[in-house]
A and B are shown apart, each in its own frame.
Chain A
Amino acid sequence: MSKLFPKSANTLPFQIVIYLVVLAGIATAGVTYYMTPKYTRVGYAPVQPVPFSHAQHVQEIGLDCRYCHSNVDKSGHSNIPSAQTCMNCHSVVKANSPLLAPVRESAEKGTPVPWVWIHTTPDYAYFNHAAHVNRGVSCVECHGKVNEMDVVSHSKPLSMAFCIECHRDPAARLRDPKDVFNLNSPRLADKGPEGLKTAQKFVHDWKVTPPQSCSGCHR
């Protein structure tokens, strides 16, 4: 047999194993990096039918999130405003801007403006906005600083790991309920040790027990 295989072949099985391990490692690392929402989703900023700037509307005009997303604290679904809402102002302001043509048409005819959907959960995951914003979870936790965005982009992965991280330790991310819609406000826990204590008291008094069971989100 020794004629058939050189001595160096003795290490071949070992080498193969090493290669396989390395290969599997690379594949795993690749999948983890390139195929998870962190890579595939974050940064998604599609062109919208109307170049609406959140930064302008929030920072310059000072609109509250709930002026447009009026049902976010009532319903599971945070509504995109109807064209009618836009026309409250835009029937006077920039009434003839060509960029607003789709909105005017929508308000007139009742046909919807096809806004491109950015933040979405899979069909089998049931996220509820009202449950979060009423109980100290700010918009910014999932959507990032939308108030500073001219073009909305996907800033957090919104993967299951992302959700669970917060559900396991809500105290670290809660805000004062008054600050939920103030996207520049700090988390309670970021206000030093006193803040963390307040957050823990909040969790205790409000009985904040985010579900970690499947049934919390999957039905």
Chain B
Amino acid sequence: MKRKFEHPAPSEREQLTGPAYWRSLDELQSTPGFRAQMEREFPEGADTLEGVDRRHFMKIMAASFALGGAGLAGCRRPEKFILPYGKSVEGVIPGLPSCYATAMPVRKWAIPLLAETHQGRPTKLEGNASFEPHGGAASLAAQASILDLYDPDRATAHTKAGATVTREQVDQILDTISQNYAATQGAGLAFLAEESSSPTRRRLVAALRAKFPRSVWAEYEPVTDEAPIAAAQAAFGAAVKPVYHFAKAKRIVSIDADFLQTEAGSLAHARGFAQGRRVAKKSDPMNRLYAVESGLTLTGSMADHRLRLSSSHMLSFAARLAAATYQQAVDQLVPYVHEIGVSQAWINECANDLLAQKGAALVVAGAHLPAEVHALVYGINVAIGAVGQTVEFIPIETTPGVSTISALATAIKGGSVKTLVILGGNPAYNAPADLGWAALQKSVGEVVRVGYHVDETTAASQGVVHVVRAHYLESWGDARTVDGTVVPVQPMIQPLFGGLTDNEIIARITGEKTPDSYALVATTITGLAGAGATAEKTMARFLHDGVLAKSAPRPVAVRFSVNGVRQLLGAPKPVIQFSAGNVEVRFVADHKMDDGRFANNGWLQECPDPITKISWDNAILVSPRLAKDLNIEPKGSAIQVARKEEAEFTMGKQSAPVFELTVGGRKIRGPVHIQPGLANYTVIVPLGYGRSVTGRVGKDAGFNAYPARASDAMHVASGTLTNTGTRALLANTQEHWSMEGRDIIREANYEPAATPDGKSYQENPAFVNTIGMESHAPSNIGPVGEKMTPQERAVQIPRGNSLYSTPKFDGHHQWGMSIDLNTCIGCNACVVACQAENNIPIVGKEQVMRGREMHWIRIDRYYSDGQIDGSAFGGEGNKMLPEEPQISLQPMTCVHCELAPCETVCPVNATVHDDEGINTMAYNRCIGTRYCANNCPYKVRRFNFFDWNQRKLDELYLGPLADFGTPELVKMAKNPEVSVRMRGVMEKCTYCVQRIQNAKIQHKVKMTREGKPGDVRVPDGTIKAACEQTCPVGAITFGDILDPNSAVSKAKAREQDYAVLGYLNVRPRTTYSGKLRNPNPKMPDYKPLPHSRTEYDRKNVPPSHDHGHAPAAHGAAKKGAH
């Protein structure tokens, strides 16, 4: 939808109280009770009301009751009001959500989004499907970013030296700066900004620089997610950046690049990668991923061949791969080749595979790697014919005269900076430690800080002017996506606390009297749209589509310059061989906190890390080898001595030893977590935690790694680890890492082994039926039952002799889901999408440690190394931690069993089936016996142990003595279509029943209008569950299984589709498609079976077993449900 709000001038009341949006009469009147509530917040670490003790609180509550009491009509019920609009708002129908296109800017790219708003209140973000490369997906951070809008700890007023100032005073301050520096052409004026892709900002900065040519404009980002320009400059002699087409790539080599998660454009990459990975039938091709990495990233977890290598050795690796792919360059590359412990056969076979798929292969390098590696990778891509096919280059707009934070620091030291304007960012927290930024900032006379939170940077200077920065959902703006397409940033709501955008501030300092952020954007966009375009039409189209058509720059032809690269490579440098005493330290952006910007976001804090599964904390990750050397290897399970765990768990809480990490004389302390799959002597240090000045969510979460990071070693450094002897507790949501040879995730290799064993996908696409209990027994419902519809099955073959009456499943639809384990990359976007859609509360670190997290969908992560000891302890022993594990990821949520074990044990019928096959929860019936959770084989039910929504997380144990109520701002984030649950009730995945019901109703209304009232079946694709909608790889398919042509029916028809724990005869509606691996049989590390299959065989098929039943016999035993 398109619309520009003509916002009326704020009334006197609004100017006084801030929020232009109000939800209740209390808020409108700004009663003391409401204000008290506003300042309250629920997450952990919250103090009592600042300066308000309990007695005082009672007083003001009484005052607000008195105010409310005046209007009470009687004692029979509280009087509620319906507050219609005074003036109707065009296009708004109360009760129906509207969607608007916007975008979330991320460094030099952006994620196009659709925001769902309920009467002007955004509640949910989804990817904008108009931007084809993302196909409607949104990332974990984008899903969660809406919570920041409603963060009660965000800066709520402009301040100067801590005292509130009005908007007019802010304008005056900015005007004064503008006037003062007009004479000196800006000498003494400096700006420090975040990176941005906004064309408008670029235009405004150019104007600013034209007016103040002697000012300093510096940009700083603590982490980088794009290839350095220097590499392209050297290799191609042009300012270009790569745009990858993973969908076309059949062979991919990732050199320390986490292109599926942390690199710029990850959503588009993931989508393309999944297109090449998805296998629906035997004839479908499947791509192959080689990953060389020091850490264990999600990209690495998807790899078919994974090589552990220190990041410092990547140049050497790239040189060897380049030499193997382009023989002519061998002589020139030899000096850069060092002994790094990689077998030449590995590199040769990998190179041969790339060359065999010339034009359909691709090599990518991690953004954190030096330009030399990138330049070599560009060379390899030229050699394997990737350029123009799987990778194209687009010109980038460079802003001339952009300075760095180091140069700015030098200028400040030199005393030449009198006024410093900091736009966003948080340099006092995340600037390189050697700059000593906080002290430098203090030495500047005047500091204007534009920030979303009052943070370390605001606190670093005394007289700082803090200007509230608007959230992107409150701002007019624009941005470019990863391929250069211009997308709008459209406000969904007026700035709740009068925030300003960077653009407005830059424009005002440049001298514009009344900068209107909409007009600023409209000018840019009309300019970009070219001649003949009217501003009105262009903007209408732009805002409606959410993308500016044809705005992506055309790919340019590039010529590889050997000389340029030779110059860049320079003299060969020796490589460091790391050891336990001198480890490689890698600073990485955290999966959730990024560089620390999301520290106060409860959804992200509580979301477990995709790999470590730790929530609310970061940890120094070390390899099992290093752990052994450091003598911190866990002893293993107390019950089963032979089973080795990756961490020490006492009462379910991970107890981690705290180590001191010294990098270049700078020390930090943090808990150590043993992470299988790391390069032996590389430690991974996630940034973004340990914020000292932040809101109540981010406080005390994790440790701060920035103090160990210097400007000469921003990404990779070397350091030493020393044990402090203390321990810290971590909230780890997955205690156990091994599947122990069970059949929960069923895997096969795509191609047959050299000696065919019938176990590969090509040989037996229905391989899942040869694994697990079902392979040894006939189907629970027999061959006849397998062919039945759900109705027939329910009526004719109910569970034997059960008193519980089986539902009839006679609805117009029967809902089901299929999850493709082959494409799931474990990004966790679904977890937070579900949380946003279904009003799922956060519970805080302490409660996560008790296993009380509330996520309806979780991603289980398992390691396997094929080394399971088949004879020990019933074949369940893992006597060592795997160093080179294979990773299997499985999204797990309620599978909506047709014969649900939870239902039969509920004493009050609170969980029952509906006629369309959904296992529903009637919250108001639930009395909280938790029998259902006990009887759930999938462990997907979540219990509200406390009133998470109404109580502060640090006062949970005070019971009724604690404050009660949800802050208004937090209430605004809730989805009005879903009940907010209270203490003592069970909850779980509902297949997004609110979306189903609303879609059914809308369809019926539409069909009735069109004269086809009998058409009540919702067309396939109309309903997307929140997890399915945001999944960048399309791993989740939901729909009507009665319709044989629906996407979900087709997904379930895949031969590798199976029911987890299907032998229980619970007939789950959610089934899984087996995971495939595509290793290269010629590679030296080739294994004919996936490790998990090896472990399964070791445990379940004794060596003497003569494989009496052929695969065909196995195949007769079909999946439990479908």
Given A46, A115, A205, which contacts B84 in the complex, CB threshold below 8 Å?
Answer: A115
Binds B, one of A5-13, A24-32, A70-78, A90-98: A70-78
Binds B, one of A54-62, A125-133, A138-146, A192-200: A125-133
Q: Is the CB of A117 within 8 A of B80?
A: yes
Q: Is the CB of A84 within 8 A of B88?
A: yes
CB distance from A177 to the nearest CB of B (A): 8
Q: Which residues of B contact A215 (CB under 8 A)?
A: 914, 916, 918, 920, 990, 993, 996-997
Count A interface residues, CB 8 Å: 52
CB distance from B711 to the nearest CB of A (A): 52
Q: Which residues of B contact A205 (CB under 8 A)?
A: 1013-1014
Cα–Cα, bound, A124→B978 (Å)? 8
Q: Is residue B630 within 8 Å, beta carbon to beta carbon, of the partner chain? A: no
Q: Is the CB of A82 within 8 A of B79?
A: no
Q: Is residue A3 within 8 Å, beta carbon to beta carbon, of the partner chain? A: no
Q: Is the CB of B979 within 8 A of A110?
A: no
Q: Is the CB of B977 within 8 A of A85?
A: no
Q: Which residues of B contact A106 (CB under 8 A)?
A: 86
Q: Is residue B96 within 8 Å, beta carbon to beta carbon, of the partner chain? A: yes
The residue of chain B having its C-beta at the shortest distance from the C-beta of A219 within the complex is B994
The residue of chain A having its C-beta at the shortest distance from the C-beta of B1017 within the complex is A207
User: Can you list 8 A-B contacts with CB-CB less than 8 angstroms, sorted by A residue number?
Assistant: A46-B73, A82-B86, A83-B86, A107-B86, A211-B915, A213-B912, A215-B920, A218-B924
Q: Is the CB of B1008 within 8 A of A79?
A: no
Q: Is the CB of A79 within 8 A of B79?
A: no
Q: Which residues of B contact A117 (CB under 8 A)?
A: 79-82
Given B8, B96, B812, B979, which contacts A219 in the complex, CB threshold below 8 Å?
Answer: B979
Cα–Cα, bound, A74→B93 (Å)? 8
CB distance from B93 to the nearest CB of A (A): 5
Q: Specify which of A44, A109, A130 lies most central, judged by the most chain B CB atoms within 10 Å of its CB.
A: A130
Q: Which residues of A contact B920 (CB under 8 A)?
A: 213-215, 218
Given A84, A114, A131, which contacts B1005 in the complex, CB threshold below 8 Å?
Answer: A131
Given A82, A130, A135, which contacts B88 in the complex, CB threshold below 8 Å?
Answer: A82
Cα–Cα, bound, A114→B68 (Å)? 13
Which secondary structure characterizes the binding site on chain A?
loop
Cα–Cα, bound, A77→B97 (Å)? 11
Given A84, A120, A122, A214, which contacts B87 in the complex, CB threshold below 8 Å?
Answer: A84
| With A77-B94, A216-B914: A114-B1008 Cβ-Cβ less than 8 Å | no
Q: Is the CB of A40 within 8 A of B77?
A: yes
Given A82, A112, A206, A219, which contacts B990 in the complex, CB threshold below 8 Å?
Answer: A219
Q: Is residue A113 within 8 Å, beta carbon to beta carbon, of the partner chain? A: yes
Q: Which residues of A contact B83 (CB under 8 A)?
A: 112-115
Q: Is the CB of A110 within 8 A of B96?
A: no
Q: Is residue B25 within 8 Å, beta carbon to beta carbon, of the partner chain? A: yes
Cα–Cα, bound, A77→B976 (Å)? 12
Q: Is the CB of A116 within 8 A of B84?
A: no
Q: Which residues of A contact B977 (CB under 8 A)?
A: 126, 219
Q: Is residue B1093 within 8 Å, beta carbon to beta carbon, of the partner chain? A: no
Given B84, B1001, B1002, which contacts A80 in the complex, CB threshold below 8 Å?
Answer: B84
Q: Is the CB of A130 within 8 A of B84?
A: no
| With A126-B994, A213-B920: A131-B1001 Cβ-Cβ less than 8 Å | yes
Cα–Cα, bound, A131→B1007 (Å)? 11
Cα–Cα, bound, A161→B76 (Å)? 21
Q: Is the CB of B979 within 8 A of A44?
A: no
Besides A115-B83, A206-B1013, 8 new A-B residue pairs in contact (Cβ under 8 A), listed by A number: A71-B96, A79-B93, A82-B84, A82-B86, A83-B85, A108-B86, A209-B811, A213-B914
Cα–Cα, bound, A30→B1016 (Å)? 43
CB distance from A169 to the nearest CB of B (A): 16
Q: Is the CB of A134 within 8 A of B1008?
A: yes
Q: Is the CB of A123 within 8 A of B979?
A: yes
Q: Which residues of A contact B88 (CB under 8 A)?
A: 82, 84-85
Q: Is residue B742 within 8 Å, beta carbon to beta carbon, of the partner chain? A: no
Which residues 896-955 of B have a CB within 8 angstroms of A? 912-916, 918, 920-924
Enumerate chain B interface residues (CB-CB to A < 8 A). Answer: 8, 11, 25, 28, 73, 76-77, 79-88, 93-96, 811-812, 912-916, 918, 920-924, 977-980, 990, 993-994, 996-998, 1001-1002, 1004-1005, 1008-1009, 1013-1014, 1016
| With A131-B1004, A214-B920: A112-B86 Cβ-Cβ less than 8 Å | yes
The residue of chain A having its C-beta at the shortest distance from the C-beta of B79 within the complex is A116
| With A112-B86, A124-B923, A218-B920: A76-B1001 Cβ-Cβ less than 8 Å | yes
Q: Specify which of B77, B80, B95, B811 lies most central, judged by the most chain A CB atoms within 10 Å of its CB.
A: B95
Q: Which residues of A contact B990 (CB under 8 A)?
A: 215, 219
Given B81, B812, B913, which contacts A116 in the complex, CB threshold below 8 Å?
Answer: B81
Q: Which residues of B contact A82 (CB under 8 A)?
A: 84-88
Q: Is residue A159 within 8 Å, beta carbon to beta carbon, of the partner chain? A: no
Given A85, A109, A116, A134, which contacts B1004 in the complex, CB threshold below 8 Å?
Answer: A134
Q: Is the CB of A80 within 8 A of B95?
A: no
The residue of chain A having its C-beta at the shortest distance from the C-beta of B975 within the complex is A219
Given A111, A120, A124, A130, which contacts B979 in the complex, CB threshold below 8 Å?
Answer: A124
Q: Which residues of B contact A134 (CB under 8 A)?
A: 1004-1005, 1008-1009
Q: Is the CB of B95 within 8 A of A75?
A: yes
Q: Is residue A47 within 8 Å, beta carbon to beta carbon, of the partner chain? A: yes
Q: Is the CB of A114 within 8 A of B25?
A: yes
The residue of chain A having its C-beta at the shortest distance from the C-beta of B1006 within the complex is A134
Cα–Cα, bound, A219→B77 (Å)? 25
Q: Which residues of B contact A130 (CB under 8 A)?
A: 1001-1002, 1005
Q: Is residue A51 within 8 Å, beta carbon to beta carbon, of the partner chain? A: no
Cα–Cα, bound, A40→B998 (Å)? 30
Cα–Cα, bound, A197→B96 (Å)? 36
CB distance from B1000 to the nearest CB of A (A): 8
CB distance from A181 to the nearest CB of B (A): 14
| With A76-B1001, A206-B1013: A109-B81 Cβ-Cβ less than 8 Å | no
Q: Which residues of A contact B93 (CB under 8 A)?
A: 71, 74-75, 79
CB distance from A115 to the nearest CB of B (A): 5
Q: Is the CB of A219 within 8 A of B924?
A: no
| Nearest 3 interchain pairs by C-beta | A77-B95, A213-B914, A75-B95
Q: Is the CB of A79 within 8 A of B95?
A: yes
Q: Which residues of A contact B996 (CB under 8 A)?
A: 215
Q: Which residues of B contact A218 (CB under 8 A)?
A: 920, 922-924, 979
Given B79, B81, B1013, which contacts A135 in the complex, CB threshold below 8 Å?
Answer: B1013
Q: Which residues of B contact A114 (CB under 8 A)?
A: 25, 81-83
CB distance from B413 to the nearest CB of A (A): 54
Q: Which residues of A contact B914 (CB under 8 A)?
A: 211, 213-216
| With A206-B1013, A206-B1014: A107-B84 Cβ-Cβ less than 8 Å | no
Cα–Cα, bound, A212→B998 (Å)? 16
The residue of chain A having its C-beta at the shortest distance from the C-beta of B1013 within the complex is A206
Cα–Cα, bound, A101→B461 (Å)? 53
Cα–Cα, bound, A123→B924 (Å)? 11
Given A44, A76, A214, which contacts B95 in the complex, CB threshold below 8 Å?
Answer: A76
Q: Is the CB of A110 within 8 A of B8?
A: yes
Q: Is the CB of B82 within 8 A of A80?
A: yes
Q: Which residues of B contact A85 (CB under 8 A)?
A: 88
The residue of chain B having its C-beta at the shortest distance from the C-beta of A207 within the complex is B1016
CB distance from A202 to the nearest CB of B (A): 9
Cα–Cα, bound, A213→B920 (Å)? 9
The residue of chain A having its C-beta at the shortest distance from the C-beta of B918 within the complex is A215
Cα–Cα, bound, A71→B980 (Å)? 26
CB distance from A204 to the nearest CB of B (A): 9
Q: Is the CB of B95 within 8 A of A40?
A: no
The residue of chain B having its C-beta at the shortest distance from the C-beta of A202 within the complex is B1013
Cα–Cα, bound, A46→B811 (Å)? 41
Q: Which residues of B contact A46 (CB under 8 A)?
A: 73, 79
Q: Is the CB of B87 within 8 A of A47?
A: no
CB distance from A33 to the nearest CB of B (A): 15
Q: Which residues of A contact B994 (CB under 8 A)?
A: 126, 219
| With A82-B88, A110-B8, A114-B25: A219-B80 Cβ-Cβ less than 8 Å | no
The residue of chain A having its C-beta at the shortest distance from the C-beta of B1002 within the complex is A130
The residue of chain A having its C-beta at the shortest distance from the C-beta of B992 within the complex is A219
Q: Is the CB of A126 within 8 A of B80?
A: no
Q: Which residues of A contact B96 (CB under 8 A)?
A: 71, 74-76
